[in-house]
Amino acid sequence: MRSVPSVQHESDSPSLKITLKDVYAATDNLSASNFIGQGIAGKVYKGVLSNNQSVAVKHITNECYIETFVREVRSLSHVRHHNLVALLGYCESEAECFLVYELCHNGNLSEWLFGNGKVLSWIQRLEIAIDSARGLEFLHTYPNGCIVHRDIKPSNILIDTNFQAKLSDFGLSRVMDLGQSYVSSEVRGTFGYIDPEYRANHHVKASGDVYSFGIMLLQLLSGQRILNIDFERPMSLGKMARDVVRGGDISEFADPKLEGKYSVEAFDIVLKLALSCIGLKRQRPSIGQVLYSLQKTLDISL
């Protein structure tokens, strides 16, 4: 691996820096028994720091993602909210980089939606959506400038011991200065969750996160993967949802794991809300408006 550009910024806190020795001690030398996942940037291990705090340690092994490591530490080490996974520390050496986060013991939303033997109730799904929207609203209304996440998807929504959802993985995030309506950037993100307008004009905007959030809401409702292709009737999640709204059967779109246990009124509101999120950019709601609607559906459901 090439040498790592040094991480420095004006709010750098010495307490964020963790030694290589501490990283290896926390993870039992990156033991296979502590391995909990792998992304395109590298592997993730669970561990315990010397103060007994449980952590998730991301080992950046892909050279192409050194830039995202630096961006995450520089931009977001000081950003704190109860619906964002906290970056507790980082470690950089000439050979390798590590990011140390709080550990969310219940894994990620993707595992709960698509994993065998895992079931989320209707109320849990709404609460996860509300938590995620709160975290995203905090980013979009950050006082120093709107922070656009750029990679909202189920695997980046982590669930803690209390079943509170937290947004994670800020390696692609971009900060817009106050007064800026967009920043230009190469298209980055995950296939299926990227706003088509961003793909066309390369303008990073908060509305791009709203689009991704809308796709995630459709998955919360349907329990379907973004690339789940039925060869007899291949159809995108968005098209399936539009067909339901035009007079189709909600029960055909609903996740079978729900076993029909949901408020039809609330389901219909969330379905239409999701479609408004993935509609034309100028007609999309803000994440604050999305949050308000989701809270209303929770009240209806309770």
Q: CA dihedral in degrees (285, 289, 292, 297; nearest 10)?
A: -10
Strand partners, 38: 43
**Distance (Å, whole) CA 32 – CA 46:** 10
What is the arithmetic mean of pLDDT over 209-238? 82
Q: Determine the average pLDDT of the residues in 120-145.
A: 96
Instruction: Mark out the alpha helices in 90-141 (DSSP H runs).
Output: 109-114, 122-140
Which pLDDT belongs to residue 231? 53
Contact 167, 157 (CB under 8 A): yes
- Mean pLDDT, the chain, whole residue set: 87
Cβ neighbours of residue 253 under 8 Å, at least 6 residues apart? 221, 222, 240, 241, 244, 271
* 193 and 212 Cβ atoms separated by less than 8 Å: yes
What gap in Å lies between CA 300 and CA 43, rounded to an integer?
41
* Cβ proximity of 22 and 48 under 8 Å: no
- Record the tokens describing residue 273, joined without a space: 């809300």
Q: What is the H or E stretch that residue 45 is in?
A: strand 42-48
The predicted-structure confidence for 43-64, as pLDDT tens digits, reads as follows 899 999 999 999 999 998 777 7
> pTM for the whole thing?
0.87
User: Each residue of 62-85: pLDDT tens digit?
Assistant: 777 777 788 778 767 788 899 999
Structural domains of the chain, ranges and CATH numbers in brackets: 14-102 (3.30.200.20), 109-301 (1.10.510.10)
Average pLDDT over residues 241-262: 90
Is 177 one of the catalytic residues?
Answer: no
CA dihedral 206, 208, 212, 214 (to 10 degrees): 80
More confident residue, 14 or 202: 202
Q: How confident is the model at residue 234 (pLDDT cuts 50, 70, 90)?
A: low
Rg, Å, the chain Cα set? 20
The share of the chain scoring above pLDDT 70, in percent, equals: 91
CA distance 273 to 279: 10
Mean pLDDT of 294-301: 96
pLDDT at residue number 51: 92
79: amino acid identity, one letter: V
Which entry of 12, 131, 151, 177 is annotated as an active-site residue? 151
Residue 185 and residue 208 in contact, taking contact as beta carbons nearer than 8 Å = no
Q: For residues 14 and 186, which has the higher predicted lDDT (pLDDT)?
A: 186
Instruction: Give 258 or 202, the one with higher predicted confidence.
Output: 258
H/E stretch holding 266? helix 264-277
Backbone angles phi, psi at 187, to 5 degrees: -75, 120
Question: Which two three-digit tokens encode residue 43?
Answer: 């592997």
Question: Of the segments 75-84, 131-140, 201-210, which one has the largest average pLDDT value?
Answer: 131-140
Give 73-88 as a DSSP string: HHHHTT---TTB--EE
pLDDT at res. 272: 95
Indicate the pLDDT class of residue 93, thresholds 50, 70 and 90: confident
Straight-line distance from the first to the last Cα atom of the chain, in angstroms, rounded to the nearest whole number: 53
Do 248 and 230 contact (CB within 8 A), yes or no? no
CA dist 164 and 189 (Å) reads: 24
